[in-house]
Structure 1
Amino acid sequence: MQLHELETPALILDRLAMDRNIARLRGRLAPFGVTLRPHVKTNKSADVSRRIGAPGTPITVSTLKEAEYFLEHGWTDILYAVGIAPSKLPHVERLARRGARITVLLDNVESAAAVAAYCAAHRLRLPVLIEVDTDGHRAGIKPDDAELLEVAAVLARNDDGEGAWVAGVLTHAGASYDCRSAAAIEAMAEQERAGAVRAAQRLRAAGHAAPVVSVGSTPTAHFVRALDGVTEVRAGVFVFFDLVMHGLGVCAVEDIALSVLCTVIGHQREKGWLITDAGWMAMSRDRGTAKQPVDQGYGMVCDVEGRPLPDLVMADANQEHGTIRHRSDPAATPMLPVGTLLRILPNHACATAAQHGAYAVVAGGTDIEATWPRFGGW
């Protein structure tokens, strides 16, 4: 098939660009001797994840549905990297009983007590990472906070060889998405590393094994200069990249492997608008570039071959309609004919991919070489 045979909107994945992106990060991390634990929430596809690592290699998930799916496809070393809710522990147990080595995450005494009690009652051996806040971005305990050791003590209290146990620490430098230079991302990467290592050292000094020190974000993974004391790095959007990553200087436009194919369905000539059949239901509501120096609207516009069209962006979006215009001069918008196929590069690859049920896979052109299913939901 060819792209022009698809019904639009459709999600397009350039396999060649994706493979280059994967090789780039693996090469970047190789000198540090750490494990790459990719975050499969971005792709939600066994076909894509096999390009990163064979079934059985470590992965990170953000939902238990992802854990279920990837276990069924052969991945067993699974980190569930969202704070555990007690109501999900029976699901975690089912996964563990089916052969998953699943690790859970928490950052408070209440959750630790719930996990410890459940594991003791069900004779479940469960590794637990304590989330550490190294940048004030989201969840976690500060590396030097007394609560870190309090949480660990609650988990260890019921560790009789079968219960929950302190496997280590995890942090995510989400604030790296707000950096405005390579030097700033490098500094954030070191802040992330140092905070996680400090927390793990405190746990070990208190008698906990804490063998795992898990760090990661796509920006810091690409700019880190040292990983002393770190055992694994997590990243997800590196597989596809997107306009936010481009705006941070992490990737070039040609590295973005994901796009949405759409069709011009009309014009508003007096306004300088092209109307397409891809709105925010196809692109997502994510406007991550709005706070960057260059605002890409809802996405950068390319021709059907994936080549950027100068200064054209999806400036606005309704549910099923996208409005394309010149970014600074609507009068300069080319009135492309109805039926013209365009490809829109997304702000946030995870959010855009989540709107679709499959990837139409190409290799740098318009020939479709495969269709890879993906899933969504919880």
Structure 2
Amino acid sequence: MADVKLAQVKAFMPSLSSSYQVERQFVGQVVAKQRADIGFELAGKISKIFVDEGDHVSQGEILMQLDTELLDIEYTDLQAQLQQLAADAALVKANLKRVKSLKKEGYASAQSLDELVAQQKSLWANKARIDASIKANRTRIEKSSLLAPYNGIVDRRTVSEGTVVGASQAVLTVVQQGANEVKVGVPVRLLEHVDLVAPKSVTVAEQDYAVKLVASGGQVDPQTRTVQLRFALPENDNLVSGQLAYLNVVETIDEPGYWIPVSAIIDGVRGLWNVYAIVQQSDGTFLLERRDVSVRYATQQQAFVSGALAENEAIVATGLHRYVPGQRVEPDVQPSGVN
């Protein structure tokens, strides 16, 4: 009887591991560090608009201006009052000098001197009041110009020239540029797996960015049941607020099992999977035996399984559809494992 040619199988020898790591990915978004709806501190009519939506602005740049005609008239009036006061003060000063001279010679009373001194003090008080009014007028004129609070981009404009606006009414939305953050929600049970000190990276538009944890939220979001983490992106990252960002968190699960190639498992029954163990017989030949396993975690190339496997017991690594349990095979055992 001619020798039967045995099927050649590629074998894999799994090694027992006490735990396995699961890489979980959480989706967040890029947000600007600062986003402000800005407006004038004073009410008035908008006379000039220097920017529009999408324009880049620098800190301190004039964005809009209110009509200051009435304030300019008020300033002119206050200057005239100040000049009149200066003339009155000069006259009182001259009279005071004259009365003092006459009093020494006995031709003026002490009452006349006291009246001039009181009048001079009154003029000084009026001057201080007018100076304060001028300062207030100048401040209102300065506040009639809306300035950019930081370097950024104008995201929205809600008014046009000629519009009468109220105090604190939002007229522009400015988004800070070059200081973006990433906000990601992470379940409470996984917070312990997020090293709050070690450097992190997030993926935005298929590009990785090194980030630094800024803060961890103090409460659970009632809708997503997650805790929000804030990460600072590098300066001038050229990202746009609202882009999706992905944070990878590695979770270590303490459960014994084996890493095997995905190609080494095949459908089983009752929700289980099967592997084909290569068992050496007493006559030195090798026989395939079906073993039930449970897949705990899987990637595109490998799976972590637990079940009826023994450590360092060879299994068929690939091509299980070509074999059946009980079949005699000739294995090519390779003592290399999957990490």
Query: TM-score band (shorter)?
Result: under 0.3
Q: TM-score scaled to structure 1, two decimals?
A: 0.21
Higher RCO (CA-CA < 8 Å; seq separation 6+): 2
Higher Cα Rg, which structure: 2
Bigger proportion of residues as helix: 1
Q: TM-score scaled to structure 2, two decimals?
A: 0.23
Bigger proportion of residues as strand: 2
